[in-house]
Structure 1
């Protein structure tokens, strides 16, 4: 196993495997707002903390409402950060978390400046500039666009994410590059593609995207596929390593 102890930033995406939750949340559901047994969610979050070598109190969660609100956090939070869809910090050891089940989890870091962020980019949030605003907030805290690294996690892919034509055209107007055609020949959206294009336009060129499709890949929770289901997470934190 690779030694990760000297990495200044850690980025992790979870899957649905290896947790305590029962169907339809089986099994590693990290969402506490989807109807799952709270004790199962707590057990799953505690397991995540153990695996990552962190304390559960170090995790910062969001009350995600598909907004374009970005919040800077500077310490542990006893409750999810209210009504926000991106969180940014300069604090070492503070694990920023984003919950998803088809939306794009976006993890951003400038380890030279010591600034990290996690953003929830669903159709509406992406359309309304949540990732752009997250980058702008990072810059205000000392990050620079050439040094920002971005990782987009598993999400609904353009090949399967069908939406009405008018909706897709509206998103395309605000997030160019998102409009696509599904493998069925219907109108679709590829939010990751639109976000990559947006990030490049901002001068952020260190961008990687996990291509896996949550709608078709049963290793992940998918609201589109299942309706009532759990949530996987993206997690990012500054380790304090040089």
Structure 2
């Protein structure tokens, strides 16, 4: 267990999700694109990331990932280089924000405020099938977190009524992530990844689960790859603040 947890320190959890507004990127990435892999001007992305870090009061304290739809999780303790080829970050370091970028996939923000352990996960269809969320929980547990003390926010993502997939794909995902298969608003096979992830979390002992109701496909204030590709990326972040 982390030293600060055993010392009786308590923490407050901060979670932030961005929208499209407030940045400097030009169309089709307008304006607050935080993804550096979508073809946007690197200078604009850097300016947007700096603006975000300053706004949350952590000018040198955000960790970013190069996400690859894997089940790989990295433990970090400082905001050095972008973490390569991973889809989950875990830390016990206060005031170190972990960031996920998405434009339809599910950002999963998990925290055990009592143990002082947090995780940020990029859960797209492939990563969710491969068990990225369960792997992140295992990593949190290795650092002292307990499932019953973990709270989770499933951030903005494409909703079941708008996520149409072939019937075979829906069945495949359902086998590995029960609760995901659904029917779209057009009556076709679909996926609700947030429902499947929530069901998985409950089987793993996590009960404090909140879901942001916004659908990236429906909400014009959010980026959606399925609706607008090429387009920008939202960021969902969390960090620990020492309690007072």
- Equivalent position to 1:8, from 7, 12, 18: 12
Q: 1:7 and 1:113 mapped to 2: Cα distance?
A: 9
Uncovered stretches (5+) of structure 1, i.e. residues with no partner:
1-5
For the Cα contact (< 8 Å) 2:150–2:206, is it kept in 1? yes
- Equivalent position to 1:195, from 194, 197, 215: 197
Q: Deviations over 1:128-177 (max 9, x none)?
A: 11011111110110001111000000001000100011011000000000
- Equivalent position to 1:72, from 75, 79, 82: 75
- Equivalent position to 1:115, from 83, 108, 117: 117
Q: 2:160 and 2:134 mapped to 1: Cα distance?
A: 21
What does 1:161-240 align with in structure 2 at a 5 Å threshold?
A: 161-240=163-242
Residue 33 of structure 1: aligned partner: 37
- Equivalent position to 2:65, from 54, 62, 65: 62
Structure 1 length-normalised TM: 0.95
SS at match of 1:8: strand
- Could you tell me how far 1:241 is from its partner in structure 2? 2.3
Give the length in aligned residue pairs: 235
- Equivalent position to 1:143, from 135, 145, 150: 145
* Stretches of 4+ aligned residues off by more than 4 angstroms: none
| 2:182 counterpart of 1:154 | no
For the Cα contact (< 8 Å) 2:177–2:196, is it kept in 1? yes
Q: 2:37 and 2:71 mapped to 1: Cα distance?
A: 20
Q: Deviations over 1:64-102 (max 9, x none)?
A: 00001011111222x211110000000111110000000
SS at match of 1:195: helix
| 2:92 counterpart of 1:90 | yes
For the Cα contact (< 8 Å) 2:162–2:190, is it kept in 1? yes
Uncovered stretches (5+) of structure 2, i.e. residues with no partner:
1-9
Residue 3 of structure 1: aligned partner: none
Q: 1:139 and 1:112 mapped to 2: Cα distance?
A: 12
SS at match of 2:161: coil
Q: 1:227 and 1:21 mapped to 2: Cα distance?
A: 15
Q: Deviations over 1:27-75 (max 9, x none)?
A: 00001111111111111111111211111x2110001000010111112
Q: 2:79 and 2:242 mapped to 1: Cα distance?
A: 16
Q: 2:49 and 2:11 mapped to 1: Cα distance?
A: 23
